[in-house]
Amino acid sequence: MDTFAAIEQRRSVKKFDPAHAMSDAEITRLMEAAILAPTSFNIQNWRFVVITEQKRKDSIRAVGYGQAQFSDASAIILVCGDRTAHAQDTARYWRNADASVRDQIVPMIMGAYEGRNELQHDEVMRSGGMASQTIMLAAKAMGYDSCPMVGFDFAKVAELIALPENHEIVMAITVGKALEPARPRPGQLALAEVMVRETF
């Protein structure tokens, strides 16, 4: 599918076919696209929890205000982030770069993030957001629909997935076959209202 077509056709679907199951190969393909999303310093700080077991999906629905997308979608992808990715064998993020580039950039990573908790959090949100959009567009290109979701109890979901202490949940994305199309777009602001040239 053309990239612009995927952007135009991606919608937040509310009703999924509970009988449809994604294959392992499809999930792998989707997540291989996700890990091509950009991250600062290439620290690849996103982490993905893919949930397809019905019992687990139902458990998330129970702490997600009863929203049917959680139990009816083929998969829930919990997009998370590791705040300490900057401190974990950072040379591996640049292992394929020329030594001169690697030797210059790798020491900068710790200097940028160590001891800066707010920046670590912000970077998790930025990286997770970019990965989330990548997942949704890739899903659309594969013939699937999706819905980005934050309507759930983050603390309880963290318990359900045994989220490590140094990780954060960015959002959930439900992916599956739509039972019915999304509602018509409610109204986009004019481009002139949201874009300026050079400066406000």
Contacts of residue 27, Cβ cutoff 8 Å, sequence gap at least 6 = 50, 52, 75
Nearest Cα residue to 51 out of 154, 145, 174, 158:
174
Pairing of strands 75-82, 145-149: unpaired
Q: Give dist(CA 200, CA 178) in Å, integer.
A: 41
Half-sphere exposure at residue 147, Cβ-oriented, CA atoms within 13 angstroms: 25
Token code pair at residue 162: 């045994």
pLDDT in tens, the chain (200 residues): 899 999 999 999 999 999 999 999 999 999 999 999 999 999 999 999 999 999 999 999 999 999 999 999 999 999 999 999 999 999 999 999 999 999 999 999 999 999 999 999 999 999 999 999 999 999 999 999 999 999 999 999 999 999 999 999 999 999 999 999 899 999 999 999 999 999 99
Three-state DSSP class for 25?
A: helix
Domain 3-194 classified CATH 3.40.50.720? no
Q: Which of 101, 69, 65, 78 is CA-nearest to residue 170?
A: 78
To which residue do tokens 């294959």 refer? 23
Question: What is the reported pTM?
Answer: 0.95
